[in-house]
Amino acid sequence: MPSPVPADLLAALQNAQTLLCVSHVNADGDAYGSLLGFTYLLRRLGKSVTPVMPDPLDPEFAFLPGAEEIVLPTALHSRFDLAVSLDLSSPDRMGSAAALIDGARLPLAVIDHHATNTHFGQFHWVDARCAATSQMIVALADALQVPLDRPLAEALLTGIVTDTLCFRTSNTTPAVLEAAMRLQQAGADLAQIVQRTLHRLPFRTLQLWALVLDNLQLREGVVWVTVSQQQLRTVGLQSADLRLSSVLSSVNEAVISAIFTEKQDQNGDPTVECSFRARPGYDVGKVAFQLGGGGHTPASGCTLAGTPDDVVARVLPLLFAASQPPPHTP
Ligand code: 5GP
Ligand code: MN
């Protein structure tokens, strides 16, 4: 079960009338699911809630009820009583929304399930035993005595399904299944959510796989690929959710997988987005945290300055160290 909602955070939510809620850059299903679920839930209590994302809406999640109401930080002009961050392990993941919340001196409540959460904000509810922040919002609905209904259930089951890769990750506990069961009973269509999120692949993404897998590498239990801007351009993609993590992390000979994607920061300087996965018993959460990123024991990431060659050379030794067999416990 999720840990109980802390009394101070619950009181802050109950006392606020106008709330701004925000999730993370490169939003995934749990970012959208928890943001929209939270928005819907608090509106059921008669509150004014504005959902904010630092990036434009990803068309993949446009099917979620209320997705069209999500606004960019630049579109915010009203005043709020409270800001709430969902599925965010550190404030930098808010993108440009962070400066806005800071500037308005808004009290911030943090609801998150990342083990690497840096405990920012005034009110915290961080539960790393939950497989998704959306799972925590089911518990929040219980605490606020709001019954689960279809729009709420659709959003929250989307978050649970995507963060657990459809109940396949090692953190899929009976409590996760119980939350999912209740969401399905409340009207969420599990098969449709899976079809709309995990079980789909743009043709161009598969073409990109063909290019990047040509340079697939395996050493010391680590399998990795690098994705260049040139390769993205060749297939006609600007940026990509590569969707390659599941494939790489299933390679028999590897316990850790990594994807390095060439990017640029706002100044046009080269950066590399790193995405890591580990088999049970191995920890990439620590590696990402060490590098200034974050995530979970089995799935984590960070963005580092430098060219792909520089960054790969810097990160690989840490991954090789993390891929050593765990010490034998008598
Ligand atoms: P993915 O590889 O799917 O992009 O991310 C896996 C996990 O790592 C997610 O839980 C995500 O929140 C976390 N993560 C990925 N990139 C970053 C990053 O740059 N900073 C932080 N703090 N977490 C990250
Ligand atoms: Mn999540």
Paired residues of 263 in beta bridges: 271
Answer yes or no: is the C-beta of 261 below 6 A from any ligand 1 atom: no
Burial of 93 (0-12, 13-18, 19+ CB in 10 A): buried
Count of Cβ atoms closer than 10 Å to residue 62 Cβ? 12
The predicted-structure confidence for 93-106, as pLDDT tens digits, reads as follows 999 999 999 988 99
Q: Does 293 contact ligand 1 (Cβ within 6 A)? A: yes
Alpha helices (H) along the chain? 7-15, 29-44, 97-103, 133-143, 150-163, 174-185, 190-196, 203-212, 229-235, 245-248, 285-290, 308-322
pLDDT of residue 140: 98
In this structure, are residues 36 and 7 in contact, taking their beta carbons and an 8 Å threshold?
Answer: no
Please report which helix (H) or strand (E) contains residue 278, including its range: strand 270-278
pLDDT at 326: 73
Q: What is the DSSP string of 132-162?
A: -HHHHHHHHHHHTTPPP-HHHHHHHHHHHHH
- Tell me how far the alpha carbon of residue 329 lies from the centroid of ligand 2, in angstroms: 31
Task: Determine the residue type at 277.
Answer: R
Give nearest CA residue, ligand 1 atom 8: 300
Superfamily of domain 7-197: inorganic pyrophosphatase (n-terminal core) (3.90.1640.10)
With a cut of 50, list the residues of the chain below it in pLDDT.
Answer: none
Residue 132 is predicted with a pLDDT of 98
90 lines ligand 1 (CB under 6 A): yes
Q: Which helix (H) or strand (E) holds 276?
A: strand 270-278
pLDDT of the residue at 330:
57
203-322 classified as CATH 3.10.310.30 = yes
CA 301–ligand 1 middle distance (angstroms):
4
In angstroms, the CA 290 to CA 288 distance is 5
Q: What's the helix, strand, coil split of the chain in %, to 5?
A: 40, 20, 40
Query: Distance between CA 28 and CA 61 in Å, rounded?
Result: 9
Whether 303 is in the pocket of ligand 1, judged by its Cβ within 6 Å, is yes
Round to whole Å and give the CA distance between 86 and 76: 18
Contact 56, 72 (CB under 8 A): yes
What is the chain's length? Answer: 330
Q: Are 35 and 23 in contact (CB under 8 A)?
A: yes
Can you give the pLDDT at residue 145?
98
- What tokens were used for 40? 């819907």
pLDDT at position 54 is 96
pTM: 0.93
Q: What is the CA(60)–ligand 1 centre distance, in A? A: 19
Give pLDDT, residue 291.
98
Residue of the CA atom closest to atom 11 of ligand 1: 295
Residue 329's pLDDT is 58
Give the pLDDT of residue 242: 86
Q: Quote the CA–CA distance of 188 and 151 in Å, as a whole number.
A: 8
Q: Tokens standing for 101?
A: 């919340």
319, with CB counted inside 10 A (0-12, 13-18, 19+), is buried
Which of 275, 284, 297, 315 has most ligand 1 atoms within 8 Å of its beta carbon, as the pocket-test mutant? Answer: 275
3-state SS class at 22: strand
What are the start and end residues of each CATH 3.10.310.30 domain in the chain?
Answer: 203-322
Q: Is 29 in the pocket of ligand 1 (CB under 6 A)?
A: no
Closest ligand by atom to 33 CA: 2
Is any atom of ligand 1 closer than 6 Å to the C-beta of 89? Answer: yes
Collapsing DSSP to helix, strand or coil, 29 comes out as helix
Distance CA 63, CA 200 (A): 14
User: Which residues of the chain form CATH 3.90.1640.10?
Assistant: 7-197
Per-residue pLDDT, 281: 93
Ligand minimally distant from the alpha carbon of residue 131: 2
